[in-house]
Every structure is written in C-alpha cells, then in structure tokens.
Amino acid sequence: MDEARADEDVREEVNFLIYDYMICMAIYRSTSVIPDSPEQMDLNRPGETIRILKSILPPTETFLADLQIKTQIFEIIQIFTKPKLVAQPEPTLLAEMASRFVLTCNAASMEALGSYATEVAIQLCIYAMYQNSNNSSSDGCIENPVGIPGEQEAEKIPEYITHILPSMGISNEVYLEAIRRTRRVNGNGKGPLLNTVVEIMKLLKPPILTQLEKGKLDGLSHVETEELKRRVGFS
C-alpha cells in the first residue's frame, strides 16, 4: 500500500498544521504542570521545535487571527513558566507584549476574548512592575506587591505602563484594583494569568490536525475536508 504523502506545493501548509498542533499542546501542558518539576523541564523540547517551525513560516503578522493569538499566548506562558534563575525579559518588553496581545485579541471581534485579553495584559504589566523587586517571586507570580492606598498609589505605576494602559482600555483605578486582587487571591505559584489563558483557549478553534482527524474542518464541507486531508497527506 502506498504511503500517504503531502503534495509538494503544500509543504508550507503542512508546516502550519504541525505548528498549530504543537503550540496548542505546549500551551495545554504548560498550564497543567508544576513549575520546576521534571514535567516542566520536558516542555523545553517542544518549545525548541516550535521556534524552529516559526522561523521557516511567514511573519507572525500574516497568520490567521487564531494562530496569532495562540503564538502570543505561548510566548507569554514561556515567561510565566520559566525555571528559576532563568533571565526574564525587560519590563518594558513585557508591557509591549501586553499591549500587542490586547490589540490582536480585539481584532478577532469577540467580546469575551477581549475581556480575557485585558486580564492577561494586566497580569503581564503587574509582573513587569515587580519582577526585579524583593516582592516578586521567581516563577513570575507576585506574592505580596506593596501599594499605598488612596491617590498616592497611582504615582507608583511606572510611566512605561501608564503610557499603554489607555490604549488597552484600562484605567489606573482598574489596574490598581487588579494589583490588590492579585495580592489577595494569588498563592498557587502560577497566578491568575494561566487560568485566564485556559479560558481563552476554549474560545479558539482546536488544532486543525485535530479537526481533520475528526473528518470535518471548520468552514469546509466534508468533501472539501477530505480533499484537504489528501493534499496534506493526512488520509
């Protein structure tokens, strides 16, 4: 029996399918393991494969909206699940990632997605504020951020964060309340961000390879799905 092979002209599509599948699996695993555990160390291997695939694909900005969001989620999770003693990005870069994530999610025109994206952005900004302070935990989770109640508290927000908050639709008051809420409820070693990521993933389409395996790709008829499976060597 002949082996199923992908058409030569769809090699890039196949790379996209593999990238989509692997990045989803990496995200799900990252949100369900304990930081610095052996399972956490194993996440480095698929992460390296994902980076290689990304390097041979077109620019991320050209990806479909779902895949852009998944890619940014993976990059954010990599920061929050890094092993201890691994260098973290500069705070200004974290703030830029937060702003870009909200912009990407808002472009998908899903109200619930935009709300969750704002929560992720807030947690990124909080982490950016405290990652180099004595109150920032080594696994990316704020254990005991210090704030001064009242109007003086707003003065403690760095300029690089106050500059981007309006573009994300976040007021200083909302941001400061998020800091207080994080201090009250955080204690699981990962923080609220990873829980929010799980909710975002529920709103996104499952990996295309998973849909093909089920025989029906979102937006395509059964016949069209079968043709795509043939083209990419999945049948």
Band of residue 101 on the pLDDT scale cut at 50, 70, 90: very high
Conformation bin of residue 189: beta by default, left when phi > 0, alpha when psi is -120 to 50? left
Owner of token pair 């043709």: 227
CB 54 within 8 A of CB 192: no
Q: Is residue 123 scored above 60 in pLDDT?
A: yes
User: What torsion do the CA atoms of 111, 92, 129, 149 make, to the nearest 10 degrees?
Assistant: -70
CB 160 within 8 A of CB 91: yes
Band of residue 29 on the pLDDT scale cut at 50, 70, 90: confident
Residues 6+ apart with CB under 8 A from 232: 6, 7, 10, 13, 14, 17, 212
Q: What pLDDT, on a 0 to 100 scale, did the predictor assign at position 135? A: 40
Q: Is residue 154 scored above 60 in pLDDT?
A: no
The whole-number average pLDDT for the span 102-118 is 89
Q: Where are the domains of the chain?
A: 10-204
CB 84 within 8 A of CB 138: yes
Band of residue 15 on the pLDDT scale cut at 50, 70, 90: confident
pLDDT in tens, 143-152: 444 443 344 5
CA distance 174 to 118: 11
pTM: 0.77
CB 49 within 8 A of CB 42: no
Q: What is the mean pLDDT of the chain?
A: 75
